[in-house]
Chains A and B, each alone.
Chain A
């Protein structure tokens, strides 16, 4: 069921043995697989609680992206281990949106060059790898060393953060744009714009259709924002806190 009546008055968070829990009235929130819903970060728990508290008469599950991400991390319904997640993420590089170029129409090819070249260049410099771009139907030829570098880098993230990273990559159809977000090089709005460059080009040419275009745009922004926030809140932040305390 995509919707259900709101059955609780109060939403609160509490700290249990495994982490932070969400309480709907006196009931503890559980995952779809009936596990206790526990998250490692207080800020994440607060944001999840806010999702539940924002529901009016009906619970719109399709708007509760952080809850969904936590459920995926807790239940791991696809039963993938860390290495499988990392390989799935890096595999996207072979069909990365920003590497796949058209030759026609010329205006679109130019737009892709102007908007996507900088972010590819950023990734190549930041990770010291060769990526490039291609107009071939087979896509770019990514060197094995490039893939190894990204595999190594992603291995430094914990399982929860990795679920988030893989989610963002799937939504944006781009590993490079996702790393741009994770590394705080670009904003969510920019990442989504770059991911939807061809759509935006067509919209400029042919006009906007609110009930389709804006709908998709808002949904992609929401998902990319949720995924990015999820990754940052689940990553080790003790060094950040420490620096702040020293100020």
Chain B
């Protein structure tokens, strides 16, 4: 079984991601209710995990990775790919340059 870290951390991480993802109170969402019910029912937050619980933890950790990666990807997309046409100054700035200042001309 993969090295997963603590189930409690995964659980907390999932709640955090759901809070980010949801517009309305995230405790009302089916996802929140399902995750809480699952963790509670199978006591995945306890220290020693049997095989079935480990499988559930892996699933939870995978879903956490999905939510987190989509959020990070969306943020990067918004930052770098969603802005339409950039000015020459902005483009230069992206790779660490500044446009030269020319007296009486451009810049």
Contact = CB atoms under 8 A, between A and B. Distances in A.
Contacts of A210: 76, 80
- Interface size on A, as a range, is 35 or more
Contact of B70 (A43, A46, A185, A222): A222
Interface in B1-17: 1-4
B77 A53 contact: no
Interface of B is mostly: helix
Interface in A92-148: none
A60 interface: yes
A240 interface: yes
A225 B30 contact: no
Interface of A is mostly: helix
A35 interface: no
Interface in A207-247: 210-211, 214-215, 218-219, 221-222, 225-226, 228-229, 232-233, 240, 243-244, 247
A66 B72 CA distance: 17
A185 B69 CA distance: 20
A76 B36 CA distance: 34
A96 to B, nearest CB: 20
Interface in A51-76: 53-54, 56, 60, 63, 65-66
Interface in B64-105: 65-66, 69-70, 72-74, 76-77, 79-81, 94
A225 B63 contact: yes
A15 interface: no
B30 A49 contact: yes
A4 B85 CA distance: 21
A226 B2 contact: no
In the A-B complex, the 9 residue pairs with the smallest Cβ-Cβ separation, listed nearest first, are A225-B66, A218-B73, A211-B80, A222-B69, A221-B69, A54-B21, A225-B65, A50-B31, A218-B72
Interface of A: 12-13, 42-43, 46-47, 49-50, 53-54, 56, 60, 63, 65-66, 184-190, 210-211, 214-215, 218-219, 221-222, 225-226, 228-229, 232-233, 240, 243-244, 247
Interface of B: 1-4, 18, 21-23, 29-31, 34, 42, 50-56, 58-59, 61-63, 65-66, 69-70, 72-74, 76-77, 79-81, 94
Given A12-B30, A225-B66, A244-B42, 12 more contacts: A42-B34, A50-B18, A65-B66, A66-B66, A185-B1, A187-B4, A215-B81, A218-B69, A221-B69, A222-B69, A229-B59, A243-B51
